[in-house]
Amino acid sequence: MRIRKRLAQLGLIMVALPLVGWGLEQLAKRAEERRPNSGAGKWLRQGSDFAYGFGRGPLSSRLRTPRNGPQRPR
């Protein structure tokens, strides 16, 4: 039973969180294209960064698009 619980935790960290981060980033891009001065894009981008911060593994690094500007140290 412990193995299944641990695999579920790893699945969340390695698959679900990077996908959530990618989805929020896509929504942020669309919001910024529609209304450049709106705060919605900024909020979605912060949520994306938060989700990516917890995601680990090869999927997380492949889904994330590099951006210019200050980067958070890891």
Which pLDDT belongs to residue 23?
86
> Contact 51/17 with Cβ under 8 angstroms?
yes
The ranges assigned to domains in the chain are 2-63
- pLDDT for 10: 79
Q: Which residues contact 49 (CB under 8 A, 6 or more apart)?
A: 21, 72
How far is 12 from 14, CA to CA, in rounded Å?
A: 6
Q: Is residue 74 scored above 60 in pLDDT?
A: no
Residue corresponding to tokens 């450049």: 36
Question: What is the identity of the amino acid at 38?
Answer: S
pLDDT digits (tens, 9 = 90+) for 26-71: 888 898 888 888 888 888 888 887 777 766 666 666 666 656 545 5
72 pLDDT above the threshold of 70: no
> How much is the pTM?
0.63
Cα dihedral 61→64→65→66 (10° resolution): -60
